[in-house]
Structure 1
Amino acid sequence: MTSALTAPGGAWAGSLPAATPAVQPLPGGLDELLTRQVPALVATRRHIHAHPELSGAEFETTALVHRRLTELGLRPRLLPKRNGVICDIGAGDGPLVAFRADLDALPLADDKDVDYRSTVPGVCHACGHDAHTTILLGLAPLLARLAEQGGLPGRVRLIFQPAEEVVPSGAPEVIEAGGLDGVSSIFAVHCAPQLPVGSVGVRTGPLTAASATLEVRLGGPGGHTARPHLTTDLVDLLGRVAVDLPAQLARRMDPRWPVSVVWGAIHAGVASNAIPSEGYLRGTVRSLHREAWQDAGEIIAKLVPDLVSGTGAEVEVAYLRGFPPVVNDKYATDVISAAAARALGHENVFEAEISMGGEDFSYYLEQVPGSMIRLGVAPPGATAQCDTHQPGFDIDERSIEYGVRVLAHTALAALDAPPPGSGATGGGR
């Protein structure tokens, strides 16, 4: 594994990774099949991008996925709310390997000047879920072909999950619907604009942080700014909480479990000469450690009243846990790393940086071994980086073919070498 090379400012600059003798073909003529379907996959991704759906409302995207899988002769089943799909490929008693894609878009405007720009005002696929979905749709015919040829040493489950971007999210719904029943390992890719197209980032252990949302509301008698002594000066108090809470929380937490508190909104009042009677702070709490994620809410609920004690302010604290951290299993990461090297060449497999973002793929990893990797989507020569969750986010669409190729190699490797202690045995090819 090599380290990612970056240009000044963190943006990658270079050319498309060239094929090397280390790149291995897929069996059964699958490379030719994949090459033929690439234009259709790009068209599918653009259609999904142009017709995004918010979390929990992914009905048309689900219908498209269900239709495409059915056309392959597969038997996909809808989730209970009919906004997600689970589809098994292959048969027999061999191991069962799962792959997950997320379907939902974000409540953001699409600022790109492209033909496939979002047609839904205020909704945009700004996190790459359209690409994730398309990659699994591209994987399905390859595995179906291999199963028909008798070359699939086990079964593969494709999970098209709703509501990754919200809390509560869709992963627990999938698990409740039996999405992990019998699964020996699970894998996923996530678009990474920090990496060049044709490369991936892999990491054992923590990949993303546990997350929570925090809201602090203060109330009290307002009044004229000429007489603050007759009021509870909430603007001053909110400013103190905004500055002091992160620092004081760090003193109350186990130093082995650092926590990040970042405010995203602060509001109180509208007039320059009137002290308001209510105001609020909203932000996020993040940690790479599950213990900190579990303990921080209780500590914050006690800490905020202490910070405003004696002022007469009324206090309300709401701490809503989001997702646990994504912690990649070593076995699974070794499998997908080796598969990516076969698909793209060893020189294009980088060590991924830890992200403080949240990802509900973590719920699956608490049940079975698995690994999420970063899929490079930055175009060659890129000098400016448009991150995910930004209105201008887009991908180099060649990443779709690379993603399919990596997951196809991963499926075969994971079926041949199931996790130790899983009770499954590989079929041997």
Structure 2
Amino acid sequence: MSELASSCTAVDPAAAVVAEIERLLPQLITWRRDLHAHPEIARRETRTTAFLRDTLTAAGIAVTALPGTGLIADLGATDPTRRIALRADLDALPVPERSGLPFRSTVEGLCHACGHDVHTTVVLGVALALKTIEPTLVARDLAVRCIFQPAEEVMPGGAHDVLAAGVLDDVDRALAVHCDPSIDVGTVGLTTGPITAACDQIEIALAGPGGHTSRPHLSADLTFALGKVLTEVPAVLSRRLDPRSGVALVWGQVEAGNAANVIPATGHLVGTLRMLDADEWKRVGGLVEQVVHEIVAPYKVAAQVQHIRGVPPVVNDAAAIAALAAAARASEGDRSVVPTRQSLGGEDFSWLLQATPGALARLGTRAPDGPTYELHQGDLVIDEAAIGVGSRMLALAALSEA
């Protein structure tokens, strides 16, 4: 045994990493609150990227910038037998915060309503803790790559930038966590197979001559046609696609007109098309556009449909789930792992799992006996003990790969 390997086995590296995360936790919480107070939307995460670069570099960790915003941090062996990627997402949402927290968003109209500030802090904690036992990683011929990815909340998302940069080319497994305010802090939701849904964005623009509401027969009643599209497209899709696919088209933005007695000349709909079945998602193709045109045809209204391909389902690898479960139980106890079901939420970590096997864990963030919050809402409150849980689990899961 080499002198390096001998010195690395003298101290249990798992125990050392857990102890370091505990030591770091107050600082991690402070950093998370700073990130929370300064949210940045997709591909504009410049302050967040600069903070990560400076913090990681100060700890002696090698960083590489991604195109635009975001970065990767590499630890361990330079030419390893195994390389594990841990991914965090950086961007916030265009949602006003109404949590009332003392460290609430200082940016008008933006907040971390999906917990990405927590994801970022969790992976940062792992990187800093693993740095303290980096000789052990080298001795085990193991490398860990922390990916701080921009633009998860948009389509197409930042996962495509990560893949285009070749970040996953030499990675053997990818792991990530996502906040889940429906389960208690100290627990993680794990399942093998699909855990999220396919998700696309649908944008529909309607146009007509407009006119006076007293004479709808002399114009195209665009608002009425918009209402038909609003209600009938989801209904028709539920009959044209296999109901087992769990299809759900839900509108998030509807715009038309600005006066009660004026038939508008334009209208606009934006929504998300989600489904559980990846094969049906691949086949949906031009069906939405076909249905829209069929619905508006009787009303003399022109329609333009943009179907923006988003993400496939996240499909968790069995071996990766086993590693996460063992790590969670080792650090948080036997009751820390709870079952979870596939949801209609979309997550562009799925694209990374097209390149390498891995898994997404749902990180419990609900305070014991506390209220259940909803993601993508401005009142979201996270129990910050989840930061330690996530960091410990990911760190131990990465170490188990050696």
The answer to whether the superposition gives a TM-score over 0.5 is: yes
Question: Which letter maps to 2:75?
Answer: I
The aligned residue for residue 313 of structure 1 is 301
SS in 2 for 1:140: helix
| Deviations, residues 210-254 of structure 1 (Å, cap 9, x unaligned) | 111112222223333333222222222222222221121222224
**Does residue 264 of structure 1 match 2:274?**
no
The aligned residue for residue 403 of structure 1 is 390
The aligned residue for residue 141 of structure 1 is 128
Take 1:398 and 1:322, find their aligned partners in 2: how far apart are those partners? Answer: 32
The match for 1:85 among 68, 71, 84 is 71
Question: Which letter maps to 2:317?
Answer: D
**Does residue 109 of structure 1 match 2:96?**
yes
The match for 2:279 among 281, 291, 299 is 291
Take 1:372 and 1:360, find their aligned partners in 2: how far apart are those partners? Answer: 11
Take 2:337 and 2:219, find their aligned partners in 1: how far apart are those partners? Answer: 60
Note the 1:156-305 alignment, pairs <5 A.
156-305=144-293
Provide the aligned C-alpha RMSD in A.
1.8
Pick closer, same or farther for the CA change 1:238–1:153 going to 2, 3 Å: same
The match for 1:371 among 359, 365, 370 is 359
**Does residue 40 of structure 1 match 2:24?**
no
Take 2:141 and 2:330, find their aligned partners in 1: how far apart are those partners? Answer: 19
Take 1:46 and 1:367, find their aligned partners in 2: how far apart are those partners? Answer: 33
The aligned residue for residue 14 of structure 1 is none
- The gaps in structure 2 that reach 5 residues or longer are 1-11
**Does residue 325 of structure 1 match 2:313?**
yes
SS in 2 for 1:322: strand
The aligned residue for residue 352 of structure 1 is 340
**TM-score, length of structure 1 as denominator length:** 0.86
Give 1:131 shift. 1.0
| Deviations, residues 260-298 of structure 1 (Å, cap 9, x unaligned) | 111223232233233222223222111122233333340
The aligned residue for residue 3 of structure 2 is none
More helix by share: 2
**Does residue 339 of structure 1 match 2:342?**
no
The match for 1:119 among 88, 91, 106 is 106
The aligned residue for residue 69 of structure 1 is 56
Q: Is the 8 A contact 2:14 2:399 kept in 1?
A: no
Moved more, 359-368 or 62-71: 62-71
The count of corresponding residues between Structure 1 and Structure 2 is: 389
Q: Is the 8 A contact 2:87 2:175 kept in 1?
A: yes
Take 1:33 and 1:219, find their aligned partners in 2: how far apart are those partners? Answer: 60
Give 1:134 shift. 0.9
SS in 2 for 1:27: helix
Pick closer, same or farther for the CA change 1:314–1:395 going to 2, 3 Å: same
Percent identity between the aligned chains?
Answer: 44
Give 1:256 shift. 4.3
Give 1:401 shift. 0.8
| Deviations, residues 15-61 of structure 1 (Å, cap 9, x unaligned) | xxxxxxxxxx9635333222211111111111111122221111221
- The gaps in structure 1 that reach 5 residues or longer are 1-24, 417-429
